[in-house]
Structure 1
Amino acid sequence: MAISPAAAAAPFRFDRTWTFPVTAGAFWALIERTEDFPRWWRWLRTFDADGLYRGARARFEVRAPLPYTLRFEVQVVELVERAVVGTTVAGDLAGPARLELLEVPGGCRARLCWALTPTNPAIGRLARVVRPLLAWSHDQIVRAGVRQFEQVVTAAAR
């Protein structure tokens, strides 16, 4: 049963930027390797993707630091090679998400942003009561993911 719009928790908004010591082309070559994602990101409990192209879909589960698992389907709705991946997210959280790459001196800048609203009633109830704890859990996953991807980038740059 879905949460009514009036009772829904506010979206979780995220907008961060990182600089990586590889070109946007090298970064892109890595993220096209969707089959490697489960090896890079150990918090993915399940992962099934059919590549990186407009219309591609990925279905996965994320194990959070707190005792819950989030289930998602992500569909690529916009794709500009070496520059933009725009998606829609559905599942326990829903909304738009976007990755933007920009070539900068010494590498590329990656901006990741989303506004995801809980659609799972239990997560929605929790978000209204312990939102800071859920935000902390989210930030732990993102930090781990960036750290793990930095290791992949470093190995690829050698």
Structure 2
Amino acid sequence: MAKYDFFTCWQFKAPIEDVYRAISRPVGWPQWWKGLQQVEALGSGSEQGKGLGNEQAGSREYRYHWQSPLGYSLCFDIRVMRLYAPWLIVGEARGDVEGWGCWQLSETAGVTRVRYRWRVRTTQPWMNLVAPLARPLFVWSHDVMMRNGALGLSRLLQAPLLERGRLPGDSLR
């Protein structure tokens, strides 16, 4: 399996609660995130975290259907493992990709910083077969999809996007 470790950072001139509300409700993402075809709720957990015990988080599960800029599709489920509103969402992925993702939010002086780490491996045989040559294209595709998310969220929040991209010094494997 081909492994990927992505880091993304967005900054919006918006309150953390507004940014968190949009990110924590993935069923609504296709309305503003270009490339995301559909999100289905598979579990019926609470919309809010419960703190350290976090009993409700594990029951939140979603199926994501993505269409990449390169034309291939990805379908995977994410089960929310940790949820500390409005600062952290951690989920475990399985399907066409397996691994985990983590949204971290912080706010300073009315600017919310969103850091996202996506550490996954591909499970589709064709992707694993072509990964040694196609890795740069898969990385580019991921970057385009994340850029689309940043721009869409900026429009939804009606808040300027102040920063977008990989974090300085971060690596892709």
TM interval, short-chain normalised: 0.7 to 0.9
TM-score (norm 2): 0.78
CA shift at 1:63, angstroms?
0.2
1:58 equivalent to 2:50? Answer: no
CA shift at 1:96, angstroms?
1.2
CA contact (8 A) 1:92 1:123 kept: no
Q: Which runs of 5+ in 1 are unaligned?
A: 1-7
1:41 equivalent to 2:33? Answer: yes
- Once residues 16 and 39 of structure 2 are traced to their aligned partners in structure 1, the CA distance between those partners, rounded to angstroms, is 25
- Once residues 30 and 60 of structure 1 are traced to their aligned partners in structure 2, the CA distance between those partners, rounded to angstroms, is 16
- Once residues 32 and 112 of structure 1 are traced to their aligned partners in structure 2, the CA distance between those partners, rounded to angstroms, is 13
CA shift at 1:28, angstroms?
1.8
Q: Which runs of 5+ in 2 are unaligned?
A: 49-56, 160-173
- The one-letter amino acid of 1:138's match is H
CA contact (8 A) 2:27 2:38 kept: no
Correspondent of 2:87 among 69, 83, 86? 83
Alignment partner, residue 25 of structure 1: 17
Alignment partner, residue 16 of structure 1: 8
TM-superposition CA deviations, 1:106-125 (whole Å, max 9, x none): 22111001111111111111
CA contact (8 A) 2:11 2:113 kept: yes
Percentage of matched positions with identical amino acids: 29
Correspondent of 1:97 among 84, 93, 101? 101
Alignment partner, residue 70 of structure 1: 74
Structure 2 residue matching 1:22: 3-state secondary structure: coil
Alignment partner, residue 143 of structure 1: 147
Structure 1 residue matching 2:158: 3-state secondary structure: helix
CA shift at 1:22, angstroms?
1.2
TM-superposition CA deviations, 1:71-99 (whole Å, max 9, x none): 11011000001000001111111111100
Higher normalized helix content (fraction of residues): 1
- Once residues 25 and 33 of structure 1 are traced to their aligned partners in structure 2, the CA distance between those partners, rounded to angstroms, is 12
How many residues align? The count is 147
- Once residues 45 and 30 of structure 1 are traced to their aligned partners in structure 2, the CA distance between those partners, rounded to angstroms, is 17
CA shift at 1:129, angstroms?
2.1
- Which one scores higher on RCO, CA 8 angstroms, separation ≥ 6? 2
1:154 equivalent to 2:154? Answer: no
- Once residues 19 and 42 of structure 1 are traced to their aligned partners in structure 2, the CA distance between those partners, rounded to angstroms, is 19
CA root-mean-square deviation: 1.6
- The one-letter amino acid of 1:20's match is F
- Once residues 43 and 16 of structure 1 are traced to their aligned partners in structure 2, the CA distance between those partners, rounded to angstroms, is 17
CA shift at 1:13, angstroms?
1.2
